[in-house]
Amino acid sequence: MMTKFTGLRPIFWTENLEETIEFYTHILGFTLLMKNDDWQWASLQKDEVFIMLSQPNQHEKTSGIGFSGSFYFNVETVDKLWEDLKTKAKICYEIETFEWGMREFAIYDNNGYILQFGETVDNIGNTE
pLDDT in tens, 55-105: 986 666 656 656 678 999 999 999 999 999 999 999 999 999 999 999 999
Beta strands (DSSP E) in 1-128 are 11-13, 31-36, 41-46, 49-54, 70-74, 90-97, 102-108, 114-120
* Cα 1 to Cα 41: distance, rounded to the nearest angstrom: 34
For position 53, what pLDDT does the model report? Answer: 97
pLDDT of residue 97: 97
Residue 38's identity, in one-letter code, is D
Q: Residue 1 has what pLDDT?
A: 84
pLDDT at res. 125: 65
DSSP state of 17: H
**Inter-CA distances, 49 with 63, 71, 74, 100, Å:** 28, 12, 10, 24
pLDDT at residue 128 above 60? no
**pLDDT tens sequence across 33-62:** 999 999 999 999 999 999 999 998 666 665
- Structural domains in the chain, CATH included, are 8-56 (3.10.180.10), 67-128 (3.10.180.10)
Sign of CA dihedral 41, 29, 94, 18: negative
Judge contact between 25 and 31, C-beta under 8 A: yes
The pLDDT value recorded for residue 56 is 81
